[in-house]
Amino acid sequence: MDIPLTFGTLVVVILFLCYFLYKRRFSFWLYREVLTPPVPFLGNFVNVALQKETLALTMLKIYKFLKSKNVVHGGIYNFFCPFYVPVDINVIKSIMQTDFEHFTDRGIYLNEKDDPLSSNLFSQGGQKWKLLRSKLTPTFTPSKIKVMFETLLHCTEEMNVILRKSRRKPLNIKDISARYLTDVIGSCAFGIECNSLKEPNNDFQKKGSAFFERTFVENVMLYFSDSLPSLLKLMRVRVNRPDVSEFFMGLIRDAITLREGNNIHRKDFLQLLIELKHSGGSNNDVNVEVGDDGSEYEKLTFEEICAQSYLFFIAGFETSSATISFCLYSLAIHEDIQDKVRKEINEVINRNDGKLTYDSLAEMDYLENVINETLRLYPISSVLSRTCTKDYKVPGTNLLLKKGQKLYIPVMGIHYDEEFHPEPEKFDPERFSEAYKGNITSSTFMPFGDGPRNCIGLRLGMIQVKVALATLLHKHKFKLNEKSKCPLEFDVKHPLLSPKGGVWLDYDEIDD
């Protein structure tokens, strides 16, 4: 009799302790008098981890719930990790801009030892991020981007060739634009001819896409990374697959060896990284440089060069290809807007002797409005991550965010907020026209982030998209194919906002 009683008592005690710990953990925001949406057993993102719902939709629901309660902010849980969600636009502006010194880091999981490609500019924090950002910024100046323009034009002409050869068969524009951008970035950044447009199944294209093709287990691990980063490091969990790391590191190693062995210098991203590998140091025996504030930091290692190169590639081709796809999808539905933007493109090209030039892109105001409206409706990064790096009292409240507190900035929610964007679900490029764009601020429109930690490659990204769209729309009229869903469905397995199954379009060639 004693054994069953003792065992039963033990079970009850264990269950009680589990319940107590569960309630205590999920009372974090309750103790701080911060409103939370209903919390499922494993937190607010269990459906995202189980690949049942996109992160964008989950955060949009959370934002709408908090906004309906007329609160400054809210609290949520990613598994057992509490996240702060600002709702008031002035608080968001303070976090992203005015008080940025309190939120300099993204808090993204990285594992330098087992997965060197994860230690890149996007995931790095602190002084290392600050100095690295300042060193890499010169790559993305207008003058440097202008040098890349001819390569962009060449790749867009290759796209036109593919369309002509397809003979009006339905086209998956997501696939074509991803291959176009693979070729652009391979050439402009690394001096490598990828030939993805001609050879869609080459290794460069497949290995680059692999980052965004996560298994169910990998997806669950990704969302555990915010709650249990130390455990994941102990388990040697990687962000990138070993074969992907091996491929890209081998590619960069060969490119560096070729350049250094043959004294080859190119004006591209890899060349800048090679120079950072050799530069610095007040003397030849110390492998450091000294920053403006007197702090020392190591010169770039080979692994760090690979990490920055890899980030440049995956961020560049995926975000821009998705934007091109979403834009042409929207224009295929709204033929009047497509006709209007084509008219502008044709007028500008005709004024420039029938050529698309770098300077002529700046004359295409309506095209830029169309792209911006696409990015508002379909922000590729629908959520921005930040970590509190210094204790911070939220303006106008009594809430103190402690160092280490994680945040989510609800980009998708802000972009669909009627207060800032009337009729938010309507595709309306006019909201970015001169007459109305004064109503939009950097805090209410954040497709590239905001503040000092915004996207370093935003200029290049916009140029890549503009050139592709101007070239395609100049020569073709697009309509939605029956394979495309309307309304559009998003891929729940993709970490970013991506169309499920691609975007399929019909097209007709337009005579000059």
Extract the annotated binding site for heme: 455
Nearest-CA neighbor of 162 among 485, 499, 471?
Answer: 471
Nearest-CA neighbor of 429 among 329, 319, 338?
Answer: 338
- The rounded distance, in Å, linking the Cα atoms of 219 and 48 is 9
- The rounded distance, in Å, linking the Cα atoms of 267 and 501 is 37
**Cβ neighbours of 145 (radius 10 Å):** 19
- The rounded distance, in Å, linking the Cα atoms of 12 and 453 is 49
Do 300 and 276 form a contact (C-beta atoms < 8 A)?
yes
Q: How many CA atoms lie within 13 A of 234 on its CB side?
A: 4
Decide the pairing of beta strands 392-393 and 400-401: antiparallel
Element (H, E) at 148: none
Residues with Cβ < 8 Å from 72, sequence gap 6 or more? 86, 87, 88, 91, 394, 396, 397
- The rounded distance, in Å, linking the Cα atoms of 188 and 153 is 12
**Cβ neighbours of 429 (radius 10 Å):** 23
- The rounded distance, in Å, linking the Cα atoms of 140 and 462 is 12
- DSSP-assigned states of every residue in 357-369: -HHHHTT-HHHHH
Where is the binding site, in residues? 455
Residue 109: alpha-carbon gap to chain centroid: 15
- The rounded distance, in Å, linking the Cα atoms of 258 and 474 is 39
Strand pairing partners for 3?
A: none
* Tokens standing for residue 293: 């504030």
